[in-house]
């Protein structure tokens, strides 16, 4: 197994306001560069673990995928609301749900950035007015709010860990 020394970077996670000196880490005799944020497996980690950049990336991707629903809704034929909801659940929501277990630790202000995407998708799918309450649209469409979806994925992951006694996190959760 060999590391590429020019592609290898380091990031120091800390919520301190004052920046401390980064330690010197060498790989093959060269210093590793420290960065403020880094994208790994599609998740943008920042130095303070606020996930703000990651959430803004999700918002941009999901908004571009909402255009599919907008085009289908406004076409000559027009699509059935159930079909549009299935498109929402199969194309837009997986973008939001990917790694939600990890970024669910972000503060509520950052997480609320994603709520309008779900509400817009539901509104476009069922043909509701812009002034329709989000809770009513979520009930009509049987689509739970994002915080409940994140909680569901977190609980599923926790149950999966508890089912496997040889999982590395099993001891942490049971204690």
Alpha carbons 8 and 40: distance in angstroms, whole number? 12
Q: Mean of the per-residue pLDDT values for the chain? A: 89
- Burial class of residue 90 (count of CB atoms within 10 Å of its CB; 0-12, 13-18, 19+): exposed
DSSP state of 133: -
**Other C-beta atoms lying within 10 Å of the C-beta of residue 85:** 21
Write b or e for each residue in 113-128: b if 16 or more Cβ atoms lie within 10 A of its Cβ, otherwise e: ebeebbbbbbbbbbeb
For residues 154 and 160, give the distance between their C-alpha atoms in angstroms, rounded to a whole number.
Answer: 10
Distance CA 44, CA 54 (A): 5
Q: Indicate whether this model's pTM tops 0.85.
A: no
pLDDT, one tens digit per residue, over 131-145 is 999 999 999 999 999
pLDDT > 90 fraction of the chain, expressed in percent and rounded: 55
Q: Provide the pLDDT for residue 19.
A: 64
- Among 117, 133, 137, which Cα is nearest to 67's? 117
Higher pLDDT, 91 or 26: 91
Q: Which residue has the tokens 């599919």?
A: 68
Q: Which DSSP category does 117 fall into?
A: H
Judging by beta carbons within 10 Å of its beta carbon (0-12, 13-18, 19+), is residue 72 exposed, middle or buried? middle
Nearest alpha carbon to residue 39 among 54, 28, 24: 54
Region 39-56 average pLDDT: 92
């Amino acid at each position: 197994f060999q590391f590429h020394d020019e592609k290898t970077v380091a990031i120091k996670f800390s919520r301190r306001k004052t920046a401390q000196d980064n330690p010197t880490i060498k790989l093959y005799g060269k210093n590793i560069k420290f960065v403020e944020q880094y994208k790994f497996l599609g998740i943008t980690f920042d130095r303070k673990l606020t996930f703000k950049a990651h959430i803004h990336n999700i918002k941009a991707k999901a908004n571009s995928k909402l255009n599919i629903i907008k085009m289908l809704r406004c076409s000559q034929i027009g699509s059935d609301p159930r079909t549009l909801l299935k498109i929402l659940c199969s194309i837009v929501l997986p973008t939001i749900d990917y790694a939600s277990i990890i970024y669910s630790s972000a503060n509520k202000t950052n997480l609320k950035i994603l709520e309008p995407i779900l509400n817009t998708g539901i509104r476009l799918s069922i043909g509701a007015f812009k002034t329709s309450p989000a809770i009513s649209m979520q009930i009509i469409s049987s689509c739970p709010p994002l915080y409940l979806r994140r909680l569901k994925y977190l609980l599923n992951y926790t149950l999966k860990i508890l089912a496997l006694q040889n999982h590395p996190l099993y001891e942490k959760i049971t204690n």
